[in-house]
Structures are given as C-alpha cells and as structure tokens.
Structure 1
Amino acid sequence: MTVTRTEHRPLLPLAPVVREGNRHGSRSYLTCLFKCGNACDHEVPNPNDGETIRDVIQSAVGRRAVLRGSALGTGALVVGASGLMAGAAPAAAAPAAGAPGPTTLANARFRSVAPNRRDAVVLPDQFDHDVIIRWGDPVLPGAPDFDVRNLTVAAVKKQFGYNNDYVGVVPIGKDRAVMVVNHEYDDIGLMYPQGHYSQRDLARLGMYTHGISVVTIKRGKVPGSWRRVKDLTKAPKNRRITVETRFKMTGPAAGSDWLKTSDDPTGSVVKGTLNNCAGGTTPWGTVLSGEENFNQYFNTEGTVPTGPTFGGAKDSYARYGIRSNSSDPRNWHDVDDRFDLEKEPNEPHRFGWIVEVDPLRPKSQPRKHTMLGRFKHEGANVVIADNGRAVVYSGDDERGDYIYKFVSEERYDPRKTARARNHNKRLLEAGTLYVAKFTGDGLEDGVSDGTGKWIKLCSDRESFVPGMTVEEVLTFTRLAADKVGPTQMDRPEDVEVNLVNGKVYAALTNNSQRGSTFPADEANPVTSCGTRTSPGAPLEMKSGNRNGYVLEMTPDDGDHTRSTFTWDLFLICGDPESPETYFAGFDKSKVSRISCPDNLAWDSSGNLWISTDGAAAGLGHNDGLFRVPTSGPERGRVQQFLTVPKGAECCGPLVTDDDRSLFFAPQHPGEIDGATFAEPASTWPHTDDFPRPSVCVAFRKA
C-alpha cells in the first residue's frame, strides 16, 4: 500500500480558528476539529444505502404534532412562558416505599436552573460542588507541580490528563474509593501558549495526555462531598494509562492477521488506548471504556490506502471514517510510525474496541475485548440477566449507525471471592454479538413506538453474516452490521439499563442530515426542529434532528437475553415551545429546555439523569445535567439540575448508591470558535488564566 503525501503542513494555526456559526447544529468548529476530526465535514461513513424503516411519511413531525395534541391532551402545540420553572419550587415525586427521602438527589425539591452562558458551574441554591481534580494535577508520586509553560513527557505521564469524559467510582473502604476517568482528546490551541513548544513536542505531549487516570478519593466533611488523596504515598492504586501502556487483546479476533503489526507480529498486544469517551462500571468492580473517534489519529495525507472489503461492502477504511483529512492538526505520525498508514496499515484495526481496566489491581494488564465488536464505541454498560448471563449494551456514535448488544456465554458468579471475580473478568471474552432493528407501529397512537429485534452477527464460534468470518465480523463490525439490515440511528451514544424498571435507555444525540441523507422513520422522526441562538432569541426552525432523543426499550418478558423488545421515544428533545418536542406525555409548559443528550445515569429511585453536549448551538445556552422521572405522574418532567461553564460539555455523570453524591465532569471549557490560550473564552475553574478540564462532585449544602 502506498500513500502519496502532500507538502507537510504546520501543526498549529498561528491565528485563532474562527468559523461563522455552528455548521452542523451541535458543536463549535474547535470541538469538531479536535474531538472527532471534523466528521460532519466528510462523507457519511454509512450513507443511506441499507435497509431502513420506510412506513412513515416524510412530514412525520407535523403529523406527530397534530396526533399528539389530540390523542394525549398534553398540549403538544402549547406555547408556554419558557418551560423552565425557574420561579417556583415544584413538588418532587413522592418517594417509593423504602426510597430515599427528599434530602437526597433522587427526590430533592429544587428550582430548575435557568439557561445561561456563565463561565461557572451553576446549581440550585441548596446544592454546592467541589472540584476534585484538574488537568495537570499529580496522580503518581514524583509528579511535579503543573506548569503549562514547562511541560515534559515525563511529567505528563504522572499527571491527570486532558479532557475528562467517563467517571467511574469503585469503593475500597467505608470512606475511600478509586475514581476512574477517561481522557478523550486534546485541544492544542487551548492547552499551550502559542509558539512556546515545537511541533514534535506538541505531538508527544498530546499523545500522553490521552488515556485513563485512576485516582484515590476520600469522603469530605460535608455528607456527599469527596476529595482526592493528595498524599500520593497513601494512594497505591493510583495509575496513569497512556499511549504506551500495553493492552492484551481477548476474544476470537485476538491474534487475527488483521491485527498484526511490526511492533506486534502476534496481533495480541496493543500499545495504548485512544479517544476514550464514555464507559461503564461492571458488577465485578472493573471499568469499561469505549474507544470512539480513533480514526482521526492516523496519517491520511494524500491518497488513503484501500482497506478490506467483504461481499461488495464499502472498504473498511472509508466505513470507519479514515480518509484524507488535511485539517488534522496532530501529526502524531511524525513521532511514531505506527500512526502512519503507509507503514502500519493494520494499526487502526487495533482501536475502536471496549477496553477493561481493573482499578483495584494497579499492576494488572488492561484488556481490549474483541467479542464486543469494533466501532466508535461511546461506552458499554453491563446488566446481569435473570439467567446469570452478562449483557452489554453499546452505541456506535456516528450519524446513521447502530445500537449493539452482547450476551455472554458463561454466567456471572455473585460470590465475593477472588476466584469468582477472576471468572467474571472473563465473561466478555465469549458469547454472542447482536445489532438492533426497530420497526414502527404507525403514528396513529400519537407516539413513536413499536417493536424491535436483535439480529445476530456472530458468536465466538460462528458467524451469522454471509461472506464474513468471526474474526472479520468482530474487526469490521460496521461492515458486518450493514449486511443484515439494522436501523440507522441518530448518533447512538450512552445506552444504560434502569435497574429499577428494567428498561434500557439510549441517548441519540442528533443528526442534522435526518430527512436528507437519512430518510425519516418512526424511531428517528424529526426532520426539522426549533433552535435558538441565545436563551431569549426567537425560535427558528432548521432542517434535521438537531436536539436529539432519548429512546426507551423494554425487553420482552423483562429478559435482557431475549432477541425481541418493544420501544418508544421517551423524549424528543428541544425547546418545549417547538412543535416536534415530546416529554413522555408530560405538560410541555413545565419542563426545562434540553438539547443533545449524551451520557446517562440513574439514582436509586429510577430517575434518569441526562448530561448534554451541544446545547449552545441547538438552544443558545450552556450544556448541563437534567433529572427526569421515568414513572408515575412526574414521568417525563425534565428539570435542569446544573449548567457547566461556557464552551464545555457535561460528562460523567454518576449518582452514588446513597444518592448523596453526583459526580460530573465539565470537558473542554472555553472550546469556542476564536478562543486561544492567549485569549481564552473561559478560565474555569478559575485557578489559572486559562481553562482546565476537571472532575467535580455535587452535594447538598451542610
């Protein structure tokens, strides 16, 4: 394979990057550039050439508004004041028997936080928050104090990485825990003084700010608060997993020819993990992390090599978004040959997996599980089915891609022994991988709902996709799924099980091309939606689904191993004044605006907590975190609990078992078009004259 290179380009633009407006309705140009390699500027990896649901007319939104207004009687077309309830303290849903009282996060009464553009974390009056750890804070003994003008690779390897997405917390005693945090991507324009470091230095520093941090934390004096353990001699479980950490490949694709490289001729050991987005904490006390937009890290200057094809399917490089991309600012291939496709054409196949880290064993080797398939994993979440099998749900975060499920072959061992834990840590190595197909039942009932089927892709022993082996199905899962006719969804992100009602919820963030490249269907009905440029600006209708959905799935007979389910759109997000929005039938005049759902979490009462990524473009204000009951008379009542600083998305989140602590992670504060290190749009958390992504915990004031 050969690559025809163009003249080498500068690593970092000398002037601020400015673009007019938000081109695709959810993110700034800077976020698009560094987070996903400008995915929306390129050909959709999964164009609408596969099977979709076509039993809904193109004007689904208008039809929905009329049907819902008459069938549900909840005011689908009512224009309220603002839907924020900022001036009243609404009554919370009555606690269920044995549920936490109103002093906890699950059932607290609070005034919804109003939309804003403040450079701060804003919470209801009775709540407070602490910043637990910031970019650059020490993680390992010997880490120097953070100095952005004197960074070295040796220092960065021992410090908290940049941008923090998933937050998992595993207890190690009554008052201590280990917190596991992903570091998704770097933004060299905001991180470093312009012209201070060489291009090679910036590439190497950026490589090591990626990965995962394991940090020991302890309870604070105020109930629900937490602090990091600063005496690192008392934090032996702390760990930094970086681009050079060696991961063991597990499952049927381990050792495949598709995974072999010069550095690893066995195809069984991979250095590093890239673009880790969300994740999940397993019942056996390990943490899963999804490798998402890995495609952007590989040199593709000039002509991109053609990847494998199967039965006439699109070649694998193009299907995973690996293409000529002259806007890529990192140039890691200048310092490491494995990021050069000409030299290592198989290296991209070694990313896009679910990785598993054991935070209780800091010397253990992390693993990449091939049995869960390779795609742009947002995360992975485990539930133990009634028959004892581990079921893992995951979304492929791309416009027009799919929702997946894995069911283990072996059964979970609930005993609290080392032998049982070691057994459970192998559950994700063998089983069956599925992809979802959604069928609508028509909109006559005024609700987007219907039935669904999990289509088999392969087991650890047998492929169910014609023309592809088990190894090929797992390594090129997108191509395999294309061949069996699943439903193309609007950026499936976090997929979580509500352990109170047993249902599965998926965040579908947005798709500005729904209605054009992707025809509407009942599971993805919005082809135009209301947007705002600021909280008080007029409502404007724009094409596509720019505000997203939350999908609710109910396994048949409550059995997560079954291949059939029913589904409905629990939320159609956006401004309550806009006709397409829907909040599980709840009165639209009494809910908060919400745009671009991203990550999900649960409290012990079964309330859904939703973090957002893209509200600034969709609704004109900062992103935040929302609480939504999923049952009872308050079902669908969206209340904004907090907002994150200007330019940030809200990551995490995590509600502790006692409902007193809410972990959340403001990522990329100040990532706004035109911002630079010298002229930042944010300085949060206001400890420096530049922004530092951080992990926080919210709790009720003493």
Structure 2
Amino acid sequence: MANPNGGRRLLPLLSTPHKGGRSALTCRFRCGNACAHEVANTSENAYFGDVVKEALSRRGVLRAGALGAIVAGAGVAGAVPALADEPQARGRGNSGGGKGGDLRFTAVPPNKDDALSIPHGYKSSVVVRWGDPVLPDAPEFDFDNQSAEAQSKQFGYNCDYVTMFPMGRDRALLWVNHEYTAESLMFRGYTDGSLASEEQIKIALAAHGGSVVEIERVGNGGEWKLVTSGRRRYNRRVTAHTPMRFSGPAAGSDLLKTAADPEGRKPIGMLNNCAGGTTPWGTVLTAEENIDQYFINGDKVPEAQKPFIARYTIPSGVPEDSRRFDRVEERFDLEKHPNEANRFGWIVEIDPFDPDSAPIKRTALGRFKHEAATTTLSRDRRLVVYMGDDSRYEYIYKFVSKDRYIPGFDRHNRTLLDEGTLYVAKFTGDSRDSEIDGSGKLPRDGEFDGSGEWIPLVSGDRSYVKGMSAEEVLVYTRVAADKVGATKMDRPEDMERNPVTGGVYVALTNNTNRTAAEADEANPRSANKHGHVLEIVERRDDAAEKSFSWSLPLVCGDPKDPATYFAGYDKSKVSPISCPDNVTFDRDGNLWISTDGNALGTNDGLFVMPVEGRERGHLRQFLSVPSGAETCGPMVTDDQLSVFVAVQHPGEVSGATPDNPASHWPDGAQPRPSVAVVWHGSNKKIGA
C-alpha cells in the first residue's frame, strides 16, 4: 500500500463516536446533532411488515442476475441515451459502455493513518484546498489572519460533490460544493456562535456554497493541477450571499416572500450543499441538505406554520451550539422572518461557464434535505432527475420533465426543470413477513428484492395530494410524501444511474433507530449502523416509467458478520465497508462508493464493486482518507485515467482544536479540506 503523503499515525483523541461512527464534532457542525433529536417523520406510513406483500415472479421481470442481462443488444442505448454529443455532458460519466469488472489492483487494507492511502503503483496529489485563491485578486491563505472578504474569493471550507466540465483534453472546469463549516477547527479559541466575533461568523457564511476553478492536466497522464496564472475568467465563488432566483411553480409563492423580497423570487445564497449532478446542457445541480441548523426560534413562527417547521427539524429557541448567523443577518431569526427557512433546501442550478449568471433554485424539484440530483433521459428524451432525502426514515424522489430534451436547443432545454411531475417512491418486498425479522438474514429466495411504484405528488400547478396546494407540496414536500404513503428509508443519500445497465443505485447510509418491528425487505436490519446499497430498475428500462423492480446488491459491514451481503460473492475476498454515502460509475459500469462515518472503527474510504458478471459483488477498497475525514465526490474521468475525491473535514475528531489538531493533512500543519486526484503511475486506466 502506497502512503505518498508520509502519514504518521496519530493517537486518537478521547471521544465517544455518535451513532453510525461519526465524531460528536462532526455531528455538531454538519447536521446540528440530528441523530440526537427526535425523528422528524412521525407519519404512520406502513412499513413492509405491515402490508400485504405482492407475490412477484422474478423470472421475467427485469431481473437477470443484477440486471446485467438488460445490457444485451440495443437495450443499452434505450436505457441510457448517449449524451456525449452534448457539450459538457460527460462530467459524471453519463455515456459509455463495456462489460465492467476489469479491476486488478490490490485492495487498500483498513487503517487509521493520517494520510490518503492508495494502492501500490498509484500516485496522488492535492488539486485545491481550503483557502486557496479562486479569484485572481484573492490573497494567499493565512490561517491566523482570515477575513470574510478574503474567504469570499478563496476556496471554501469542506468539499463534497465534485464534477468536471472539460474544455478540450487538457483543460477543464472543476465544480466543488462547500457543505458546511467546522468553526472550532477554523478559528483558535472558538467555543460557540454566541461568543464568536462577528467577523468569524461572516467568514463562516462566506466559506459555504461552492467554487468553480480552472484545472489543467499535467503531462499526458491522470494528474491534474489548479491553474494559478492567467485570466481564469470562469473561476467563481458562490456563497451564502450570492444573489439567486427562484424558478418553477412555487416561485412567487406567499410561502417564499420576506420583507427583503416581497415578491418571493430573489433568494440570497445557498447553504449546506452536499451531493449534486449535472445537466445535459452543461450546468451544475447542487443540493441543499441540512439547512435547519442555521436558523433559530422555529417555535416563534405563526401557529399555522409550526407543524411544517417541525417536519424540517428547525430548532426551537436558540440552541447552545448554534452558529448564530442571526447575529450578523437577522434573516436567520425566524421570529422576525418566518419564511426565510423556506428559501433553503432546494436544488440549485449554476452555469459554470457564465460567472455572472444568477444561480437558480428549481422549485419544481421540491424542498427537503436534498442529496443528489442525478439526471438522465427517458426513452422519449424527457429529462429525469433522481433525488434522496438524507435523514432517518425519509424518502426517495424523482422528477420527470413535461417537455423533451432537444440536442443543441439550449434556450428550450433550460426550461425543462421548470415543469414536470415530482414523484416519491413506495417499495414492496416479495418475501413473507416472517422472513424479514431485522437480523439481516436473507429470505428464502436468497435476495432482498421486490417491486415498487413512483407515486405522483405534483405536476405544475396541479397537486395530487389531498388538502395541499401545488405550492404547498413543493415547499413542504416531506409532508406531501407522508400523506401519500411513501416508504420510509434508512437515510437515502446519493443516487446514480449505471451507464451500462440502466439500473439506479441508491446509497442508504444507516439508521440506528430502526427497530426489528420496523424492518422491511428494503431496509432489512434493525439498528442499521452500516447501511446498504439499493438498486432500482424501471419497467422497460425507461426512466420515465412509474413502476420498477428493486434489489439490495450490497448490505454493508464486516464481511465476517452474517448480516452482510455482497451480491453473493465470496465474502472472504471482499473489503469491509460501512456507511455508503456518495456513489458514481466508471464507463465500464463499475460502482464506486465513498463512505461517511465508518462504524467499523477505521478511516473512511473509496470502494469499487462490479455489479454484473462473475466479479459481481467483489468489493475492494481503493483508497482511505486521513484521520477524522469523510470521503466525498467521487468522480472518475471519462478517460478513466483519474479519480477525483473530496477529502472533507480531515481531523474532525472530538477534542481536536487548532492547537491540538487530530490531523496534519495535507500540508503538515492545520488540516485543510481538499480535493485530491489519484492516478496510476504508468498512466494506466484506473483499476486495471
């Protein structure tokens, strides 16, 4: 195992990990200690164990052993339309083929090293790190002399979703989300938002959002570096202060109006951007997730609004660990501005090639704690967007546009996200109730699988939810999904569509709250601390269809644990994995999985697994990230010479401070969240 950054092993600080393996420090800053609060979804939606199971014959219904058989012949083109002829559609590997499974590296063993650990024969380098200049007039980073003005021009804190927009073979634009800030690691002596200086609060606001940076290839191989000279005319910082606009059916709704924006059409900034996606016309879709933690006084809103505020876990009063953004901008105090929280929690579209354009919050895609915005085209070329809601017992969604994508007709295509139908998923298992007992034991047919349907919530100004208007469905989407009986899942995170098989893969990170009585075939373990991966295959391989089949190809954990499943592969030959978070595919159809909150006691990492053929289920760890970090991104380039990975919150271990850091990655001093690239030393295809 190569350890190119010299990683000395650090002794762990004394701390008690939260449920699922995260440190208490991460839980505090990332999601406002969500796992310590009551579950927000108190609906009585049935679990699988409470409903009559539909008996399905799995022989003729989109099965074919991990669904690989649908690849044969012309089915691939119909399943995933090739978008390579559309500009910048290739950022996430939306096209390509191959048989998959051609992986020949030695797995990185689990470890606790303070390094980016990679396989033998590979190399890595840091592309961009927190504080690096983004705009040409940005100053160099100085940890002890930070300012909000400087941070608004520098690479933001933490980094999650990563995607690339090629400009020829050797130049590209890199988009990176800046999910959240960990102020106690950013500033010496920080305790909480009530005692922080106003400048520190302003720095944190500026460190949120996202960055567009120009990068260039080094030589002819897989290494990339930041462009640091010249005009860099596309470089951009998007922050919590960037002027934006609403589009779609809810734009102008009374629920979005504030004193500063009486028309309800011009939100300011974005927060807690986690996963995302790209569009066929070359823009970014970035997902606002845990937006609740930034507000105070959720209990002071008008009485009629309180149930909706509670459903989105907006805190009451002023929590002790609040960032107190309200001290510098009163819009974060809901007693004064009760609709401001409704202006966050959306999918935001950003044009990386137009740094002067206003980002667009797309209301037709609904409002919740968004994870992912993965796009594809249906058989009749309508745009389809897959999305998860990352909380315990939340739901899986998709959007299908009303109109069709027309190659090259940019003005038309950019309206596709304004009108269409928003759906939520309902899953049904095909095994007897008695066979799903919460232990993770496989049912009699040898697989966790079944059927499902996409339930419509809203189309344009038409609501399908009794008692709710279309605007209410879009602003309070969680409540609408409760009402139609959607299936409660174990933290739906990233979703990606396999470019070869057409299957949609969902990372379900964990849910330690699920009881044995609540276990169902799609969420088969109680106290599920390791998570699992779900595969959806829509009828006729058409993304616009309303019915689908599903299965669980991966139930995570220690392979020695009988409650794990690796698609039937020999578990003595696979890597342990815990808490799948972000997923992607290479052009050969291999599934890449990054983890967040490894509950097995070792560092998080990036894993790869074929999903078809003889190697189906042969999961191996490709890299591990430094102490306290989470693995984000990931992105495999179309030429398969490079893997980009976002190393989020290195050193975020309870008890760590700038004077007592738990990590020194990447530069040997204070830990700095960064995007790194990994490539083969002989410039071979990744994994081969």
Structure 2 length as normaliser, TM-score? 0.87
Deviation at 1:246, TM superposition (A): 1.0
Q: Equivalent residues in 2 for 1:244-259 (5 A)?
A: 244-259=241-256
Residue 254 of structure 1, CA deviation: 0.3
Deviation at 1:126, TM superposition (A): 1.0
Q: Classify 1:48/1:621 alpha carbon distance in 2 versus 1 (closer, same or farther; 3 Å).
A: farther
TM-superposed deviation, 1:25:
2.5
* 1:322 to 2:314 alignment: yes
Matched, 1:40 2:35: yes
Within the candidate set 105, 130, 136, 1:135 is matched to 130
> Counterparts of 2:197 and 2:309 in 1: how far apart (Å)?
27
2:26 corresponds to? 31
Q: Report if the CA contact (8 A) 1:622-1:646 is conserved.
A: yes
Structure 2 counterpart of 1:474: 474
Task: Give the match for residue 59 of structure 2.
Answer: none
Structure 2 partner of 1:446: 446
2:496 & 2:15 partners in 1: Cα distance? 36
Q: CA deviation at 1:447?
A: 1.1
The one-letter code of the counterpart of 1:563 is: K
Q: Kindly tell me: are residues 20 and 647 of structure 1, through their superposed partners in 2, closer, same or farther at Cα, counting changes over 3 Å?
A: closer
Q: Kindly report which structure 2 residues correspond to 1:250-289, keeping only aligned pairs within 5 A, or say none.
A: 250-289=247-286
Question: Does the 8 Å contact 2:18/2:27 carry over to 1?
Answer: no
Contact 1:100 1:106 in 2 (8 A): no
Give the number of equivalent residue pairs.
615
Q: What is the deviation of 1:130?
A: 1.3
Matched, 1:628 2:609: yes
Take 2:464 and 2:636, find their aligned partners in 1: how far apart are those partners?
Answer: 39
Change (3 A) 1:195 1:501: closer
> Residue 379 of structure 1: SS of its match in structure 2?
strand
Measure the CA separation in 1 of the matches of 2:654 and 2:224: 34
Distance (whole Å) between structure 2 residues aligned to residue 277 and residue 407 of structure 1: 22
Hey, what does 2:587 align to over in structure 1?
604
Partner of 1:701: 681
- Residues 451 and 566 in structure 1, CA contact (< 8 A), matched pair in contact too: yes
2:201 corresponds to: 203
In structure 2, the residue matched to 1:331 is 324
- Rate the CA distance shift 1:118–1:31 in 2: closer, same or farther, 3 A: same
Instruction: Kindly indicate whether residue 613 of structure 2 is the aligned counterpart of residue 613 of structure 1.
Output: no
Tell me which residue corresponds to 2:671: 691
Amino acid at match of 2:206: Y
- Once the two structures are superposed, the pairs formed by residues 276-425 of structure 1 within 5 Å of their partners are 276-300=273-297, 303-305=299-301, 308=304, 315-324=307-316, 326-415=319-408, 420-425=409-414
Deviation at 1:686, TM superposition (A): 2.1
Q: Distance in 2 between matches of 1:370 and 1:106?
A: 39
Output the CA distance in 2 between the equivalents of 1:602 and 1:201: 41
Match of 1:163 in 2: 158
Once the two structures are superposed, residues 505-529 of structure 1 have per-residue CA deviations (whole angstroms, 9 ceiling, x without a partner) of 000000001116x7111110111xx
Find the aligned partners of 2:265 and 2:395 in 1 and give their Cα distance.
27
Hey, what does 1:430 align to over in structure 2?
419
Structure 1 residues 195 and 595: CA distance shift in structure 2, 3 A: closer
SS where residue 380 of structure 1 aligns? strand
- 2:595·2:606 contact (CA, 8 Å) conserved in 1? yes
Once the two structures are TM-superposed, the CA of residue 263 in structure 1 deviates from its matched residue by: 0.9
The answer for unaligned runs of 5 or more in structure 1 is 1-16, 58-71, 73-97, 528-543
1:349 to partner: Cα distance:
0.2
Amino acid at match of 1:509: T
CA distance in structure 2 between the partners assigned to 1:282 and 1:520 by the alignment = 36
SS in 2 for 1:54: helix
C-alpha RMSD over aligned residues? 2.1
Separation in 2, partners of 1:304, 1:592: 49
**8 Å Cα contact 2:377-2:384 kept in structure 1:** yes
Matched-pair contact (CA < 8 Å) for 1:649–1:667: yes
Pairwise CA distance, 1:107 = 3.2
Residues 285 and 350 in structure 2, CA contact (< 8 A), matched pair in contact too: yes
Q: Which amino acid aligns with 1:23?
A: H
Q: Where does residue 226 of structure 2 map in the other structure?
A: 228
Compared CA separation, residues 700 and 308, structure 1 to 2 (3 A): farther
- The one-letter code sitting in structure 2 at the alignment partner of 1:514 is R
Partner residue of 1:111?
Answer: 106
Query: Structure 1 counterpart of 2:373, which letter?
Result: A
Instruction: Please report how far the alpha carbon of residue 55 of structure 1 lies from its aligned counterpart in structure 2 after TM superposition.
Output: 5.3
CA-CA distance at 1:199 after TM superposition = 2.2
Q: Which residue of 1 aligns with 2:439?
A: none
**Partners in 1 of 2:511 and 2:429 — Cα distance?**
19
Indicate how the Cα distance of structure 1 residues 180 and 307 shifts in structure 2: closer, same or farther if over 3 A, else same. farther
Q: Displacement, 1:47?
A: 2.8
> Quick one: which amino acid aligns to residue 216 of structure 2?
K
How far residue 118 of structure 1 moved from its aligned partner, in angstroms, is 0.3
- Counterpart among 563, 575, 593 of residue 546 in structure 2: 563
After superposition, residues 473-552 of structure 1 pair within 5 angstroms as: 473-515=473-515, 519-527=518-526, 544-552=527-535
| Counterpart amino acid of residue 424 in structure 2 | V
Alpha-carbon distance between aligned partners in 1 of 2:302 and 2:585, rounded to the nearest angstrom: 43
**Among candidates 201, 210, 215, match of residue 217 of structure 1:** 215
Contact 2:634 2:646 in 1 (8 A): yes
Q: What CA deviation, in whole Å up to 9, does each residue of 1:246-303 have, x standing for no partner? A: 11101000000000001100100100000000101111110100000000000238x4
Q: Distance in 2 between matches of 1:294 and 1:374?
A: 11
Superimposed CA distance per residue, residues 49-81 of structure 1 (whole angstroms, 9 cap, x where no aligned partner): 222211599xxxxxxxxxxxxxx9xxxxxxxxx
Q: 1:9-44: per-residue Cα shift (whole Å, max 9, x none)?
A: xxxxxxxx9985223123110000000000111111
- The question of 1:644 aligning with 2:633 is answered no
Structure 1 residue 386: Cα displacement? 1.2
Contact 1:571 1:584 in 2 (8 A): yes
Shift in CA distance, 141/355, structure 1 to aligned 2, threshold 3 Å: same
Q: Distance in 2 between matches of 1:468 and 1:551?
A: 31
Give the CA deviation at 1:608.
0.3
Kept in 2: contact 1:306–1:315 (CA 8 A): no
Letter of the 1:126 counterpart:
G
Give the drift of 1:195: 6.1
Partner Cα separation in structure 1 for residue 644 and residue 227 of structure 2: 16
For residues 242 and 382 of structure 2, the distance between their equivalents in structure 1, rounded to whole angstroms, comes to 30
Cα distance in 1 for partners of 2:320, 2:532 equals: 30
- Are 2:645 and 1:664 equivalent residues in the alignment? yes
Select which of 134, 141, 147 maps to 1:146: 141
Task: Give the deviation of 1:584 after TM superposition.
Answer: 0.8
Q: Which residue of 1 aligns with 2:71?
A: none
Alignment check: 8 A CA contact 1:100 1:659 kept = no
The one-letter amino acid of 2:42's match is: P
SS in 2 for 1:625: strand
**SS state of the match for residue 647, structure 2?**
strand
* Structure 2: distance between partners of 1:507 and 1:237: 32
Checking the alignment, whether the CA contact within 8 Å between 2:569 and 2:617 is kept in structure 1 is yes
Query: Deviation above 6 Å: which 4+ runs of structure 1?
Result: 98-101
The aligned counterpart of 1:577 is 560
How much does 1:174 deviate? 2.6
| TM-score, L = length of structure 1 | 0.85
- In 2, Cα distance between the equivalents of 1:100 and 1:174? 22
Equivalent pair of 2:97/2:499 in contact (CA under 8 Å) = no
Are the counterparts in 2 of residues 399 and 489 from structure 1 also a CA contact under 8 Å? yes
SS at structure 2 position matched to 1:121: coil
2:236 is matched with 239
The code of the aligned residue for 2:633 comes to: G
Offset, 1:328: 2.8
**Structure 1: which amino acid aligns with 2:404?**
R
Q: CA deviation at 1:198?
A: 4.8
The separation in 2 between residues aligned to 1:187 and 1:157, in whole angstroms, is 17
